[in-house]
Amino acid sequence: MAKTIITVAPTGAWPSKKDNPAIPLTPREIADDVYECWQAGAAVAHLHMRDAEGRGSMDKGRFIETVGLIRERCDIVLNLTTSGDLNATDETRMAHLVAIKPELASYDAGTMNWMHKTLFVNHPEFLEKLGRTMIENGVKPEIEVFDSGMLYNAIYYIKQGVIKAPAHFQFVLGAPGGMAATVDNLVFLKNLLPAEATWSALGIGASHLPILYAALAMGGHVRVGLEDNVFYSKGRLAKSNAELVSRTVRIIQEIGEVATPADARAILKVPARV
């Protein structure tokens, strides 16, 4: 069996210390958390930043500070969000990629209603600009797919040369406004992928473990972390992101092997940046 990449998403834009006191918010907290997750077996870190009040932020300075603290200590593959603040401008969503040139960055391949409250806007013009900026800066998109239309958008952009093949996909299932987190939906999406694509999946909240097990059974990679799920089990908060990573390592080791950051770079075909 091929090696499995564990991505950790330690903070996201939404959960607060009220949801789980272990959520890291400051650059120092996020960097310490990522280091712990790297020690536990995570190969990729998907990062969001927060402002001084703990709200999602695309502040370039915070990204630079956090990435600096992480790169001092470990070789984890960096995957920076481009969607950490729904009110950010197109330019602000990309400025940190130009400054930092991470191996990966999120590419949300379509617009959707967000949590039944607002819009998550990814205008076609933005997606073209983002794709070209990523190519120019050697950043590989992690194409986030919340529903099947986004996957078809991505296939269109691959054909247009806006996204380079082989593409890498993250199926984000169970977000209100997107596809439900069911195994049937995961199988359906996986069967639509271009032949050479790599993929990972996550289920939000209670669907976390069913989607994790299904993705492993189907040969996919997995994402865990407090961005997507603040619980370890029903009614019991996760003690830390590392606790979620450690459980995933144990599960993978029952059936295969956990990818190191170097393995992940080889699997995703991204050059080392550390």
* Residues at the contact surface with Zn ion, assessed by CB under 5 A: 81
Q: Which is nearer to Zn ion, 104 or 189 (CB)?
A: 104
Who contacts 192 (Cβ-Cβ below 8 Å, separation ≥6)?
148, 151, 152, 155
Q: How far is the CB of 253 from Zn ion (least distance, A)?
A: 26
Q: How far is the CB of 231 from Zn ion (least distance, A)?
A: 18
| Cβ-proximal residue to Zn ion, closest one | 81
What residues are paired with 113 via a beta bridge? 119
CB atoms near residue 272 (< 10 Å): 10
Q: Which is nearer to Zn ion, 13 or 256 (CB)?
A: 13
Q: How far is the CB of 47 from Zn ion (least distance, A)?
A: 8
Who contacts 169 (Cβ-Cβ below 8 Å, separation ≥6)?
142, 143, 144, 145, 151, 154, 193, 197, 198, 199, 200
Q: What is the DSSP letter of 146?
A: S
Q: How far is the CB of 81 from Zn ion (least distance, A)?
A: 5
Q: Which is nearer to Zn ion, 2 or 181 (CB)?
A: 181
Q: Which is nearer to Zn ion, 19 or 72 (CB)?
A: 19
